[in-house]
Amino acid sequence: MSKVMEGLKYTHSHEWVKVENDIALIGITDYAQDSLGDVVYVDAGEVGMIVEKDEMFGSIESVKAASDLFSPVSGEIIEINQEVIDNPELINEDCYANWIIKVRMSNQEELNELMDASEYQEHLE
C-alpha cells in the first residue's frame, strides 16, 4: 500500500507538488519510488532552466529502470536539492521529505489541473 500525503498536489506520472506561495517543491511519490526500487541516480536539470507543465525536466534511475521526470507546473527552476543528487537513496528513505527541484511558478492556475490526495489515491487504485 503506497503512502499518499494530505495537502500535496499530484500528477498522473507520480510526481508530487508542495505549494509555498508562488514556489512549487517537486518530488516523486511513494508509489513511484516503490515501483522504481533502489534509486541510484537523479538528474534534475539546472537552476535557471525554464520548465513547461508536463514536460521533462530530468530523469531518475534505479537498479531496475530509468524514468523521465515531468514537471507538474510551468516556471523556472530556482533550486535543486543537491543533497538528493549526491545521495539518491534519500528518495527511497523518505520521498515526501526530499524534494528534487523548486520551481517559481509562472501560472498558478495550472495547480487546479493536478489531483489532490484523495483523487491521487483513487488514481492509484
Partner 1 sequence: MDSRLIFEKSHKGRFAYSLPKQDNYLEIPTKFKRTSSLNMPEVSELDVVRHYTNLSRKNYGVDQGFYPLGSCTMKYNPKINDFVASNPSFTNLHPLQPAESMQGALEVYYKTAKYLAEITGMDEVTLNPYAGAHGELVGLMIMKEYHYRRGDYKRTKVIIPDSAHGTNPASVNVAGMEVLEVASNPDGTVNIEDLKAVLSDEVAGIMLTNPNTLGIFEKDILAIKELARQYGALLYYDGANLNALLGITRPGDMGFDIVHLNLHKTFSTPHGGGGPGSGPVGVKKELAELLPNPRVVYEDGKYQIKYLPTAIGQISNFFGNFLVVLRAYTYILTLGKENLKYVGKLAVLNANYIKESLKDYYQVAVPGLCKHEVVFSGLKSKAVSTLDVAKRLLDYGYHPPTIYFPLIVHEALMVEPPETESKEILDGFIETMKTIAKEAIENPELLKTAPHNTVVRRLDEATAARKPILKYQDIINN
Binding site for partner 1 (CB under 8 A): 37-38, 40-41, 61, 63-66, 88-89
The residue behind cell 487546479 is 112
DSSP for 91-104, please give it.
HHH-TTT---EEEE
What cell was used for 121?
489515491
CB nearer to partner 1: give 75 or 88: 88
Q: Whole-number minimum distance, CB 94 to partner 1, in Å?
A: 16
Residue type, 101: I
Q: Whole-number minimum distance, CB 87 to partner 1, in Å?
A: 8
CB nearer to partner 1: give 37 or 46: 37
CA 15 to chain centre: 4
CB nearer to partner 1: give 47 or 65: 65
The residue behind cell 522504481 is 36
Q: Whole-number minimum distance, CB 74 to partner 1, in Å?
A: 19
